[in-house]
Chain A
Amino acid sequence: MNMNEQNAIARNNEVARREPALLPPVDVIEDASGITLLADLPGVARESLDIQVEAETLTIEGAVALKLPEGMEATHAELGVPRYRRLFTLSKELDASRVEADFRDGVLKLRIPKAEHAQPKRIRVNVG
């Protein structure tokens, strides 16, 4: 086991020990040049969204902050935990250093391009 794998496992264990969180629903779409990940994180403000890539592990985490009026008493809750967290394992051909993130109306859109060497190449067949 190399150092990176050990770190990844240590990190996973550390994350699992943290406070409970919801798994946000995601869409993952792959095309020729990369992967697009969409995640639903309603109630998360831009500044409380945390995206990290470490040893091929992508972590998305966000805290829900709602404007609750003073003295409010909850009568019905379908969203019971005010936090989202989800981990993904990135594959080697993805270039984690060029991840682009866009966060609007509670939807996170991540674009993870494939590394240069993993881009599809068309090979010309010469007829001789």
Chain B
Amino acid sequence: MVYRSFFPRDLFAELDRAQRELQQSFDVFPSIRGLTSGTFPAMNVGRTPRSVEIFAFAPGIDAGSLDVQIEKGVLVVAGKRVRDALPEKASVHIDERFAGDFRRVVTLPEDVDPDAVNATYRDGVLQISIGRKEAAQPRRITIQ
């Protein structure tokens, strides 16, 4: 159980922050608030003719505890983010970071090759690169 103070130390800073967040929500960039709320980890997906690239933004995780599986055309990324123990007599003023178990599922295109997978974890980003089958790659047809 985390103790949360009723009156954060700097009330005006908090009001300022709330106002800034409110302003940003009316901005021309709606994705600006995409990180503070919503699912963990946030994911971006892209594709090239040779591969499907998945980026999972999962900072502060021991790479060894990440569970990445591909089964029946579905990619599952699961793991746990542990919250650091609080020091003695500490009070939490802001508590926005995700903690606990997470699991995200991505449906893959039909042409992926589950044997050609490469996953790396760097700077808090898990990048999974899955190769696509030869037949799916564009082929130039020579005209005789």
Residues of A within 8 A of B (CB): 20-32, 36, 38, 40-45, 66-81, 87-89, 91, 104-107
Contacts and interface: CB of A to CB of B under 8 A. Distances in A.
A67 to B, nearest CB: 7
Contact of A105 (B16, B20, B51, B61): B61
B87 A29 contact: yes
B1 interface: no
Nearest to A39: B97
20 contacts: A23-B33, A24-B35, A26-B94, A27-B97, A28-B94, A29-B92, A36-B87, A41-B59, A42-B123, A42-B125, A43-B55, A43-B125, A44-B123, A72-B46, A75-B47, A76-B43, A79-B31, A81-B31, A81-B32, A106-B125
Contacts of A43: 55, 57, 123-125
B144 interface: no
B60 A74 contact: no
B48 A28 contact: no
Interface string B87-127: 11111111111100000000000000000000001111101
Contact of A32 (B13, B50, B86, B89): B89
A25 B61 contact: no
B128 interface: no
B88 A72 contact: no
Interface string B72-98: 000000000000101111111111111
Interface residues of B, number: 58
A20 B3 CA distance: 34
A44 to B, nearest CB: 6
Contacts of A73: 46-48
B124 A27 contact: no
A28 B91 CA distance: 9
B42 to A, nearest CB: 4
| Highest count of chain B CB atoms <10 Å: which of A21, A28, A78, A79 | A78
A80 B29 contact: yes
B53 A72 contact: yes
Given A31-B88, A81-B29, A74 B46 contact: yes
A47 to B, nearest CB: 11
